[in-house]
Amino acid sequence: MGQVISVVSGKGGTGKTSFCAGVAVALCALGEKVLLIDADSGLRSLDIVLGMSDRVLFSYADVISGRCSLKEAAVKHQVVKNLRVLTAPVTLEAYESCDRTKIPELLALAREHFTYVLVDCPAGFGSDVMDFALASDRAVVVSTPDHTSLRGAQRIGNSLVKEGLENVRIAVNRVRAGMINTGDSVGIDAAMDAAGLALLGVIPEDKDVIACGNLGRVLVLFSRGYARVAYANIARRLRGERVRLLEGVKLSRK
Ligand SMILES: Nc1ncnc2c1ncn2[C@@H]1O[C@H](COP(=O)(O)OP(=O)(O)OP(=O)(O)O)[C@@H](O)[C@H]1O
Ligand SMILES: [Mg+2]
């Protein structure tokens, strides 16, 4: 039986989609069978980041409404064995015509076929986020180490816990040692305190994340940077392994 993990944030642009792509590929490298669901209707971006935009035909709304099977809609990644992507509906009509009470059923089906299901949610507290997150087994809140982003992380984290989701942790993204040292950025401990969430991992600022996302390239295959290692560490922790916080990772000094 697979595990469903929703990836959420309070503020937008914190690195959820990059996190989903990086961690999913790392899980596949560890032998897991992974489904990535893009829950960001209208603004979907996982297919671009993974270089699959010309291959995506059906969305999760098509599966829910019975127009196609999960297997037909979940597109196989061209390079990464064991990775499939199920995209979000693009048009407002497709989004609105989808019976969202069936999202738990969709996730139950996904759990039967995959060992990990990562849901790339839109930012904020909308019903599209809550429908997926509250039907998940756990959630990861991605935040940058900025006060505004951390406040958003605290609010979405709290809401999910209040609604009954027990396992909610934070991943602090785009961390730079140089800025922490000069006091220009919040440190890791302070970030955890501000968000009030237990830490899942830290991802350094790494220009390869931006380049690979723009080119639709798999980070693991094209980068020797530290974000790649950080995503792999997080994948191992999700599988229950004990991995030191910055094992093999150096934070950028700039
Ligand atoms: N660790 C990182 N180092 C450098 N750049 C990063 C890192 N993580 C994400 N980025 C960049 O930040 C931008 C936003 O990332 P991403 O699209 O993953 O965020 P998001 O939370 O999914 O955004 P949205 O809320 O709009 O869905 C992208 O340009 C991405 O390449
Ligand atoms: Mg996104």
Bridge partners, 35 (sequence order)? 84, 117
Mutate to test the pocket of ligand 1, among 18, 140, 250 (most ligand atoms within 8 A of CB): 18
Distance 220 CA to ligand 1 centre (A): 16
Which pLDDT score is estimated for 167? 96
How does pLDDT run along the chain (254 residues), one tens digit per residue? Answer: 999 999 999 999 999 999 999 999 999 999 999 999 999 987 888 999 999 988 888 999 999 999 999 999 999 999 998 999 999 998 888 888 899 999 999 999 999 999 999 999 999 989 889 999 999 999 999 999 999 999 999 999 999 999 999 999 999 999 988 777 777 777 888 888 888 999 999 999 999 999 999 999 999 888 989 999 999 999 999 999 999 998 999 887 77
What long-range pairs does 230-234 form, CB within 8 A, spacing at least 24?
A: 230/22, 230/201, 230/202, 230/203, 230/204, 231/19, 231/22, 231/23, 231/25, 231/26, 231/203, 232/26, 232/29, 233/201, 234/19, 234/23, 234/26, 234/171, 234/200, 234/201, 234/203
Query: 50 in helix, strand or coil?
Result: coil
Mutate to test the pocket of ligand 1, among 209, 217, 252 (most ligand atoms within 8 A of CB): 209
Which pLDDT score is estimated for 177? 84
Which pLDDT score is estimated for 128? 87
| 124: CB partners within 8 A, 6+ apart | 9, 10, 12, 156
Bridge partners, 169 (sequence order)? 140, 198
Ordered structural domains, the chain, with CATH? 3-238 (3.40.50.300)
Q: Which ligand is in closest contact with the Cα of 123?
A: 1
Q: Which atom of ligand 1 is nearest to the CA of 175?
A: 1
Phi and psi of 71, rounded to 5°?
Answer: -65, -40
Phi and psi of 145, rounded to 5°?
Answer: -85, 45
Contact 87, 59 (CB under 8 A): yes
Q: Which residue's CA lies nearest to atom 23 of ligand 1?
A: 13
What is the CB < 6 Å shell around ligand 1? 9, 12-18, 40, 45, 123, 173-174, 203, 205-206, 209-210, 213, 227
Q: Which residue's CA lies nearest to atom 28 of ligand 1?
A: 210
* Burial (CB count within 10 angstroms: exposed 0-12, middle 13-18, buried 19+), residue 54: exposed
The CA distance from 71 to 158, in Å, is 35
Task: Check: pTM over 0.85? Answer yes or no.
Answer: yes
Q: Which atom of ligand 1 is nearest to the CA of 205?
A: 3
